[in-house]
Amino acid sequence: MFDAPLDGLARHMVLHLLATQRGRTRDPLLRIAFSRHHLELGGQARADFRTQVIDALAARLPGPDAALRAELAIGVLLGLGALYVTVQADRLTSPAPDEVADLYIPLLQPLLDGEAPAHR
């Protein structure tokens, strides 16, 4: 999910998530975050999620507050995933994936670039 140049990472992440959801497979990120098993495992599952997802993304991000921005970026992406997994939003499945990505990029890319306001 994070295997793209930083300047195109937001688009890549959104398109990857949409491709897995529209293909009726579940993205590992969403499987981990929304699984009942994850909730039952508690602390270990949270630690694994932090290491494998948030810390992995934070390691790629430039600038201050990379860990916080990684958490926020994953939160934005999980929101999109939640619409597919739990809400099954009808309007979200109508547009082409590129159209959805175009709308999501302004929310996500500033967090990845370090252009979001710094944490105080």
pLDDT top residue among 22 and 120:
22
> Quick one: which of 36, 109, 113, 119 has its CA closest to 77?
109
What mean pLDDT do residues 98-109 have? 94
Residue with tokens 């195109």: 8
What mean pLDDT do residues 49-56 have? 88
Structure tokens of 87?
């809400």
What mean pLDDT do residues 44-70 have? 89
Structure tokens of 62?
């430039």
Instruction: Please report which confidence band the pLDDT of residue 48 belongs to, taking 50, 70 and 90 as the band edges.
Output: confident
Helix axes 97-113, 66-82, angle to 10 degrees: 160
pLDDT at 101 over 90: yes
pLDDT at 86 over 80: no
